[in-house]
Copies of this chain bind each other. A is one copy, B any other.
Amino acid sequence: MSEETEAIIEAAMFISSEPLSVGKLRKVSGKDKEEVNSSLENIRKKFSDEGHGIELFQSAEGYELRVKPEYLDEVSHLTPYSDLSRGQLKVLALVAFKGPIKQSNIAKIIGNRAYSYIKDLERKQLIRTEKHKRTKTLEITDEFKNYFGIEERKELEEKLEETLGEDSEKLLEKA
């Protein structure tokens, strides 16, 4: 019964707090790789229909259901939860405004938990680390620009100045 497989995979992606790999979906549904893949294909087709506001999205992390980008602006205020935790956001902000920045420098500002946030952000491909001899430096990625919908990092700095005024310079000098 392929319909039931589709249903359970849809339910799994709906409730999951993170994207699911094919392996994970096989486990949940108890079906083989082929059936999982063809079910995913059917789900993708169903939701691509214009009457749907959500879609199947595949990223490096796996499969997930998400709001179609064209509706995101209109509905995203309906949830208070962002997919980045406060700690992750702090690290990301430091990399965005002060990058390339040494990993150890970030830990000095945020504390030791910074290392686990850095790992999370790398997994989400929002930052990348580069190794120089003894130190690791961090920088934002193209995926970061996609995520925030900007072309250049400069756009962010302008926004920072707009919101903070003179304080922005002081902050940028720190660290």
Contacts and interface: CB of A to CB of B under 8 A. Distances in A.
Interface of A: 3-4, 6-12, 14-17, 20, 28, 42, 46, 50-54, 65, 67-68, 71-72, 74-76, 78-81
Contacts of A10: 51-54
A75 B4 contact: no
Identical copies of this chain, number: 2
Q: Is the interface of A mostly helix, strand, loop or mixed?
A: helix
B15 A67 contact: yes
The 8 closest A-B pairs by CB, nearest first: A11-B53, A7-B53, A10-B53, A16-B78, A11-B71, A17-B79, A3-B51, A11-B67
B16 A52 contact: no
Contacts of A72: 11
A77 B79 CA distance: 22
A54 to B, nearest CB: 5
A12 B28 CA distance: 27
Contacts of A46: 51
Contacts of A4: 50
A102 to B, nearest CB: 34
Given A20-B78, A28-B78, A78-B28, A14 B54 contact: yes
A12 B51 contact: no
5 contacts: A10-B51, A16-B75, A16-B78, A17-B81, A46-B51
Contacts of A78: 12, 15-17, 20, 28
